[in-house]
Chain A
Amino acid sequence: MALMAFVAICGAVGAWVPQGANVSPEAMASWEADNRVLVGITRALGLDHLFSTWWFLTALGVFALAMSIATVRMAAGAYRATDGPSVVPHAMVVGGSVDEVVERARAGGFRERRRTRAGLRVLVRHPLGLWGPTVLHAGMLVALLAALAASALTSQAILDLSQSEVRSPGDEYLVTESDVLGRVPELGRSVRFDDAKTETWPDGSLKSVTATLSISGDDDGWVAYTASPNDPLHLDGHTIYVLPGEFGDAAFLIVTAPDGAEYRIRTEFRFVPEGEAGYAQVAPAGVPVIDARWDPHGVRGPVALSLRPAGDDEAEPVTVAPGETVEVGEYSVALVGMAQWMGFRIVRPYAIGVLFFGFGIIGLGSLMLYLWVSRELVLEQTTDGVRYGWRAARMGRTYLAERDAILGVAPDAGDDR
């Protein structure tokens, strides 16, 4: 419980302090400016990347260890309860017959487990439910360990391809996130982006997008595959995701600067919904010098691409068609052509199957806990009547009515009959 409280408090702190992995550097700087008093302690303890600090990961490890011990102890307890009667007959129904009670119990779904040497008769309902807490905690343990392994050993990279562009093995990615062993994903085959097909809702917004990718086969040919959000492509131990929102049209430009330097630039516009236009900046040498508007639906006119000097709202945009060259401020810009582009996330997952298996065990344990509440009725015939013991694994009072009906006594007659 102390560990649970510790992890919960860490979670609360980590949710409050922006985590570097989830926010932009500007947002982080803004938070630090607003909370100057806390900057020192935040940096000293690593609260801005709390969930990857050694002490938090150690706490999770200790938590997993504690859960392992608890699970083993629970399993031993469940086994003992399955193996023998867990209650002794202590209350009495005067004048009853054990055989009649057993008959009613069987009609109510109870099963007679065994006759003990002492002449006890044991009836059980949902004996598997005894294992519910064990299964639930075992599932949590499996999921926690798999999650730790997955976090440490999963690597991923972002790939940005335009139509017909090929990424060959060994080529650079846009961004990489290696695993703890320093590995990055490598499919070992060439990947070509063929096209993206979209569907839109009646209001013009995006409904679905499906990318077609060709992967080089073993015999130097290409094999076409598709991938879409929620339906990634699994191949050779890697998974290729379509990045939702990271696709559209790209303009291939040759920009000539006033000093004569020539830059070949791909300017990307994100998907433009019906009735809208998209905007991007052209940045030779990393400095934005031209604002570009992409109007694929013809909202502003018949020519889709228009350019003007960056930040100059007064300047009249210059339209440019493929093959044309225009002057934009001091720059000369040639539009070579337009093509689709798309962003992909390539992941080499680790232990995901085990993780989801752990999730399944947790679900099963929850069902066992709440749907299969184990009950046990232990009976002994005496000369005065039936002596009995009763146990429900959880929420005992909820099942008293069931017990009373089986025993054939008045409801709510009390426990000590």
Chain B
Amino acid sequence: MQQALAIETPFHIVALAVYAIAVGLTLFGVIMSRPVFVRAGHVVALVGLAVHSMALGLRWYGAGHGPYLTRYEVLSSNAWAAIALFEVVALKDRRMRGLAMLIYPAALLTLGMGVYTGSEVQTLPPTFTGIWLVLHVCFYFVAFAAALLSLGYGLAYVARDTRLLTRAPGLPDRGTLDRESYRFAGLTFAFWGIGMLTGAIWAYYSWGRFWGWDPVETWSLVTWFVYGIYLHARRFYGLKGRRAALLLLLGFALAIGSLFFTSLLTTSLHSEYFS
């Protein structure tokens, strides 16, 4: 187990380097309108994802628990989920590959922050057992990935709309981008909501309360409501385009804040663990 821990950090750093190459290739391809570089970036990112998967697997084995306890593990898992979800989308619909110019740097930054915080292993406290915790964390991983993709589509829409990226290869038309951002915002709302609910069940079994208005819980609820407002505004009030992207930006900022920063800035039950 110690051997696994000894090599997982180098694996993480290699994954980071490979993603950085993928970011460079993709950005060059998009900015210079060279589709071959976008494709190459995609292939390199797949290699990075494989290395990253091995790094997380080693971490899992070495630490004796899933990669969801320390900030290092949480950030790395979130970055992995974002890249993995995007690769599934990009493999299914090749028109979406250009979106990598937004997804890869965001995932790179997330993973980089994780590696920067240090890879110290923490043992699981007694309350960190049971399926509800695993479900709680996993749903949030997917929700974060979906939120990132949704924002990516929204920003790509704005870039297209403002003629910033009129000739970018690997990006569909504005209508498709707008619709996809809506679709992934819906996915974010569903997964974020279920993540909250499973967290409430876990809290109930651990601490005897399902909701405590803890700052992290509260910001998470606020984030969910903002995505709910976005979905209702699109469905019933014709919100779309740039304004919709702006609301997504707010939702994503809140998501980042509640997932990664609230427990650092306030006194929260979550601060005890995700430090």
Contacts and interface: CB of A to CB of B under 8 A. Distances in A.
Would you call the interface of chain B mostly helix, strand, loop, or mixed?
Answer: helix
A21 B215 CA distance: 12
Interface in B149-198: 175-176, 179, 182-183, 186-187, 190, 193-194, 197
A229 B127 contact: yes
Interface in A1-60: 1, 4-5, 7-8, 11-12, 14-15, 18-19, 21-23, 27, 51
A345 B200 CA distance: 17
A413 interface: no
Given A229-B129, A359-B201, A366-B193, A19 B222 contact: no
Given A241-B207, A352-B204, A355-B210, A208 B183 contact: no
B10 interface: no
A362 interface: yes
B233 interface: yes
Interface in A205-249: 205-209, 228-232, 239, 241, 244
A208 B129 contact: yes
A395 B179 contact: yes
Contacts of A7: 225
B194 A362 contact: yes
B266 to A, nearest CB: 7
Interface residues of A, number: 50
Interface of A: 1, 4-5, 7-8, 11-12, 14-15, 18-19, 21-23, 27, 51, 143, 147, 150, 156, 201, 203, 205-209, 228-232, 239, 241, 244, 345, 347, 352, 355-356, 359, 362-363, 366, 369-370, 394-395, 397-398
Interface stretch (B30-38, B53-61, B107-115, B118-126): B118-126
B218 A14 contact: yes
Contact of B123 (A8, A11, A203, A356): A203
Contacts of A14: 213, 218
B210 A352 contact: yes
Name the 3 nearest CB pairs between A and B, nearest first.
A8-B225, A15-B218, A366-B190
Contacts of B228: 4
Interface string B215-238: 100110110011011001100010
Nearest to A203: B123
Given A239-B208, A362-B193, A1 B129 contact: no
B212 A207 contact: no
Nearest to A346: B208
Given A1-B233, A15-B222, A229-B127, A359 B200 contact: yes
A231 B130 CA distance: 9
11 contacts: A1-B232, A4-B225, A5-B229, A8-B222, A14-B218, A15-B219, A15-B262, A244-B127, A366-B190, A370-B190, A398-B183
